[in-house]
Chains A and B, each alone.
Chain A
Amino acid sequence: MEREWKRARRLGPKQRRSYMEFLYILPFILLVAAMSYFPLYGWRYAFHDYEPPFPITPENFVGLKWFNYIISKPARVRDVLRVLRNTFAMSGISLLFSWFPMIFAVFLNEIKCRPYRKFVQTATTLPNFISWVLVFSIAFNVFSSTGAVNTVLMDLGLIQEPIAFLKSSEHVWFRMWLWLTWKNAGWAAIMYLAAISGIDEQMIEAAKVDGATRMQIIWRITIPSILPTFFVIVMLNIASFLNNGMEQYYVFQNNFNKEYIEVLDLYVYNIAHQGTGNYPLSTAISMLKSIVSIGLLAGANGLSKLIRGESFI
C-alpha cells in the first residue's frame, strides 16, 4: 500500500487525480463484484449432479443434462410455454397499465384540500407494507364462501349459492393485476409525485395567465414533464419482466387456478424447491431466465433508441 502511495506521488497531478477518483468508485466496484458477479460462480451447480450432503466433484459433472431435461419431453416444453405465457401475460398487463400510477399521482396532485390529499396518499401507500401472506388472509376473509362479500350478496338475495371467487380461474390475470395495483399503486406514485414537485412553477403560472384550463395544464405541462421518469420506470419494469416474484402467486395459487397463475418464479419453486430441493435444475432454469432478461432489456433499449433517439445503456 505504502509503495503504491509513493508511486502515486511520483505521478503527475492529473494522473494522481484519476488515481484518487478511481479509489472513490473502488468500494462500489467491489460491492458489485461481490454481490452480482461472485454469485455467478454458483452457476456451476447447473452442470453437476449435486446432491447434498455430498460436495461437488469432477465425477458428478453432467454437462448440459439439466438443460436437456427441460426440453426432453413435449409435455414439459408445453408446460414451460404455458408458464411463460402466464409470466408474459401478467407482466404484460402490468406493463400495459404502468401509466396508472402516473395518472394517479397527477390527479392526487390536483387535490387542493391538503389533509384529504395526505389521507389518500397514506391510505394507498400503506398496503405496500403488508406482506402477501396477510393480503391473502384479508382476501380470504372478504371473498370466501362465508366472507363479507358473499354474506352481503346472499343477504340482499342477489345470489343463492356463495360464489367461489378465490377458487375460480376466470380472469385470474386481471384479478392478480388488481391485487397488485391495490398493493402498489400508492407506493409507485411517490416517484411521480417527486417528479411533479420538480416542475417549474413559473411554467404553470404562465399557462394560467394565458388562460389554460386545468386539463390543459395537466396534458401540456405536467405529463410531458414527468414522461422521462415514466420511461425510466417502464425500462426498469421490462428488465424485471420475468421476475414478477412468486409471493403473490404462491399465496393465491390453488389447484383450480394453477394453470393460469403459475409464473416462472413460482414454477421453479414448485418443481425444484419442493421437498429436499433439486438445486441443479433450479440453477439451470434461473440461468435461462437471466439470458432471456438480457435479451428483453437489449430489445427495449433498441426500441427506445429508435423512438426517442436516447438509450439507457
Chain B
Amino acid sequence: MKRFLSVLLTLTLLLGMVTISAMAEGEAPITITVYDAAANYHGIQKGWFAKVVKDRFNIELDIIAPQVAGQEIYATRAEEGDLGDLIIVDKSEFPNLVQAGLVREIPEITESANLMKFKAQIDHYNKELTGEEGKYYGIPSEMTDTSPSSLTDDVVPDSPQIRWDLYKAIGTPEIKSLDDFVDVLAQIHEVHQTTDAGDPCYAVTLWADWDNNDDMSGPANVTHITTWYGEKMKRSALLQADGETFLKVYDRNGAYYKAARFLNKLNQKGLVDPDSGSQDWTSVMNKWINGQADLLWYNWSTGFTNNNKDADGVPLKSKGQTYFFVPITDSKYYAESDAYYGTNRMFGVGSKVEGEKYDILMKFLDWYASPEGMTFQHVGIEGLNYTVNEDGTFSVLHDDALSANLPVPDEYVGEDGVVGYSDGNNAINQWIGASICVNELTGERFPMKFWASYKAKEKEEDLTKTEWQEHFGAENAVDYMLKNGMLEPSPNVGYAAPKDEGEIKSLRPEINGKLCEYTWKAIFAKDDAEFEALWDEMIEVLDGFDYDKLYENDVAAYTVEVNMKKEALGK
C-alpha cells in the first residue's frame, strides 16, 4: 500500500512539473525589476495594469520600492552592482548611478517615436549630464509638451482657498493683508463652529509628518504659505520675490517669519485645531473630507472636499459649499511655469540589461510615453473612467473609480483575479509624460477639467465656480492673479540641486530638526512676547549648530538655478 502511494505521489509530481513547464513554454513572461523611488507598493504589479503590460509586451513588473522596503535597500542593491532593470531615482542621485556604472547607455532612444516627442528635453538633460551631444543615459519624468515659460494649470500650487458659501455669509469682505485674513477667518469661525454632524471646526488643522520635505527646511505648513508672498524655501535658504536674493530662514523680513506669525495669530484666537501638534496626515485628511477646516492651501487639497456630496446625495458644489481661491490683495504668488524639462525624478535602464530584455524594455518605455500608455496612466480605462464621444473626445463616466476602488471591466481582469481599479492601478507611480500634455487621441489635455464635455457639465452644476467667476470677474484663480499682477511665473529650468555630501549631510537633519521644533512651539505661543522670545532662542540655537555653513552651501547650490532662470528670461 505504502509503495503504491509513493509511486502515485511521484507520478503526480512528475506530471505536474511536465504540465507547468509545458505551460510556461513560449509564453513565460519576462520579469522586469523596477527600482522605483516613487512607488508606494513593493512587489509584483497586480490587476488591470499588470494585464495591460502582459498583453502587450509579455512582461511582469517586479517593483522594488525603497519607500516601503526602507532606504537601506538602495545601498544593498548598489553594493551588488544591480539596482534593477528599470531604474527610477531622484534627479540628484542619477549622475552618481551613471558614474558608478549602474545605469547603461540607451542610444536606441532615438528610434523611439513616442519618446522622441520629448527630444528637446531629453537632449537637454543628457547633454548637461555627459557634456556630449548624442549620448543618452536618462529620461526625465513628467515632461510637458508646452514650453518652459507657459503656465497651463488654472490654479497655483499654494494659495488660500476657503468655502465660498461661508465667505458669502460674512459679506465677501475685501482682504488686504494677512492680518485682515485672520479677522475674516475669525468671522467665518463665528458662523461655522461645528459641522452639521456636530464636529468642531477650525480655521486650520496642521500636521507635522511632511516637515522638511520637497527640498524645503521647516514645517511644510509654513514653507508652503511663504509662496503667497512670492518667497520660496530653497532647502535652508529663503529665495526672495525678486527671484535672486536669499534670506536666512529666520530673518524677520522674510515670509517664513510672516507665515509662522500668521499661524500664531490664528492660534491666539483659538482658530488652530489643538490636535495639530500631535496628529498625522491621515487624521488631517479625514478632517478635510469631513469639512472641519475652513482654510486649505494646497491646490490638490480641494480634491478631498469639492467632489463630495451631502447626506441626501446632493453635490456640495451645487450648493456653493466648496472651496475656492480667495485673493489677499497684498500677496504675490510664487509659481513655476510648466515643468517642461520634467520634475525631480529620472528614468534609466540598469547596466545589466541586455539582449531581448533590453529590446522589450525600450519598447515598453516608448509605449509608456505613447498616447495609449498615457491614457491608461492619466485617465484610466475606457468603459470605467471614461467613454468616447462621437467626435473622439472623452466624457467622464466614474470619477470615483480610484477612491471607491470600482471593479474593472472583465477583459481587464488578469490571471491574478484582482478586480479593483485602485488595487490594480499602475504601481510605478511615476510618468514620463506629464498629465498636462495634450492627448493625441482626443486633442484635449489629459485632466478632465480641460475636457469640453466636463466644462459644459460644470457650468450647470458648480454654483461655487459660477458665482466666484461673476464676483471676481475672472475665469479661474490663475486668470485672476495674472489680471491683477499677483503672479509672475518663474521659468521652469528643471534644476535639481546636488545631493548632500560629507558634513552637510549630518548638519541638515540637525538644523531642520531644531528649526521645526522651535517654529512649531512659536506657532503655539500664548502671546506675541512668547512668540518673539522663542524666535530669538531659535536664532541662537540654529547659529550654535553652524546654520551659516548650511545656508551658504544652499545659497551656492541654488544660485546656479537663479542664473539658469535669468538666462531663460533673457536677462
Residues of A bordering B, CB below 8 Å: 49, 51-55, 69, 73-76, 79, 140, 144-146, 161-162, 164, 166-167, 254-256, 258-259, 270-279, 281
Contact = CB atoms under 8 A, between A and B. Distances in A.
Nearest to A62: B502
A14 to B, nearest CB: 46
Interface of B: 71-72, 74-75, 78-79, 83, 93, 96-97, 99-100, 102, 199-200, 208, 212, 219, 273-275, 277-279, 283, 499-503, 505-506, 508-510, 513, 516-517, 519-521, 524, 541, 544-546
Nearest to B282: A137
A262 to B, nearest CB: 9
Contacts of B79: 52-53, 55
A55 B500 CA distance: 17
A46 B71 CA distance: 18
A277 B71 contact: yes
A38 B98 CA distance: 32
A53 B513 contact: no
Contact of A167 (B278, B513, B519): B278
Given A53-B100, A75-B545, A146-B200, A276 B521 contact: no
A97 B509 CA distance: 35
A51 B71 CA distance: 13
B273 A145 contact: yes
Contact of A53 (B83, B510, B519): B83
A277 B72 contact: yes
Contacts of B75: 52-53, 277, 279
Contacts of A49: 502
A11 B273 CA distance: 81
Contacts of A255: 208, 219, 277, 516-517, 519-521
A52 B74 contact: yes
A53 B278 contact: no
Across the A-B interface, the 4 shortest Cβ-Cβ residue pairs = A75-B544, A53-B78, A255-B520, A52-B75
A79 B501 CA distance: 22
Per DSSP, are chain B's interface residues mostly helix, strand or loop, or mixed? helix
Q: Of B200, B274, B499, which is in contact with the most chain A CB atoms at under 10 Å from its CB?
A: B274
A256 B546 contact: no
A19 to B, nearest CB: 40
A276 B74 contact: yes
Contact of A271 (B71, B274, B513): B513
Contacts of A161: 274
B96 A53 contact: yes
A65 to B, nearest CB: 9
A254 B207 CA distance: 10
Given A146-B200, A277-B71, 13 more contacts: A52-B74, A53-B79, A73-B546, A76-B510, A76-B545, A162-B274, A164-B275, A167-B275, A254-B278, A259-B517, A274-B509, A277-B72, A277-B75
Given A255-B521, A271-B510, A276 B208 contact: no
A295 to B, nearest CB: 25
Contacts of A53: 74-75, 78-79, 83, 96-97, 100, 102
A166 B279 CA distance: 9
Contacts of A79: 510
B544 A73 contact: yes
28 contacts: A52-B78, A53-B75, A53-B79, A53-B83, A53-B96, A69-B506, A73-B544, A73-B545, A73-B546, A74-B544, A76-B510, A144-B279, A146-B200, A162-B274, A164-B278, A166-B277, A167-B278, A254-B278, A255-B208, A255-B516, A256-B277, A270-B509, A271-B506, A271-B513, A272-B506, A275-B509, A277-B71, A281-B506
Nearest to A276: B71
From B199, B502, B506, residue with most partner A Cβ within 10 Å: B506
B493 to A, nearest CB: 24
B513 A270 contact: yes
A269 to B, nearest CB: 10
Contacts of B274: 145, 161-162, 164, 167
